[in-house]
Amino acid sequence: MWLGLYDMRRSSVTFGQSHLLCITPEMNVAAYIPTGVAHGFYFTKPSMTLYGLSDYWTLDDDFGCDPDDPALNIEWPGDARILSERDTTAGSLAEMQAFYDKWQETQ
C-alpha cells in the first residue's frame, strides 16, 4: 500500500508538506493520521483496510481533493490507477484547504 499524506494544519510546523509512504504486509505496522492531515491510499493489489477512529465519523466530516492535484506534491506510483467516483469529481487542494479551514473554525 502507498499512503499519501498532506498536512493541512496551518498551526503545524509541517503545514503544506506531503509524504508518500510504502507499507508492506511484512512490516506489520499501523499508521496514525492526526486530524488535519489529508490522506489517500493506493493499493497495488486487492487489499483490506481497517480504520480505528478517535471520534464518531459522519459524512459531513468527509472531504477530499483530486489526488493528482500538483499542489499536493505527491507522485503516486503507476499509471493505470482506478479512482473512486468521489476522487474523480473532487475539486482542488486549494478548495479542500478552504473547506478544512472553515470546518476547523467550528471545532
Which cell is 23 given?
507499507
Residue of 66, 72, 63 whose CA lies nearest to 92 = 66
In tens, the pLDDT along 50-91 reads 888 888 888 777 789 999 999 999 999 977 788 888 888 999
Which cell is 86 given?
468521489
pTM greater than 0.85: yes
In tens, the pLDDT along 18-47 reads 999 999 989 988 899 998 999 999 998 888
3-state secondary structure of 78: coil
Query: How many domains, in total, are found in the chain?
Result: 1
Q: What is the DSSP letter of 17?
A: -
Q: Which residues contact 92 (CB under 8 A, 6 or more apart)?
A: 65, 66, 69, 71
Structural domain for 8, as ranges: 2-105
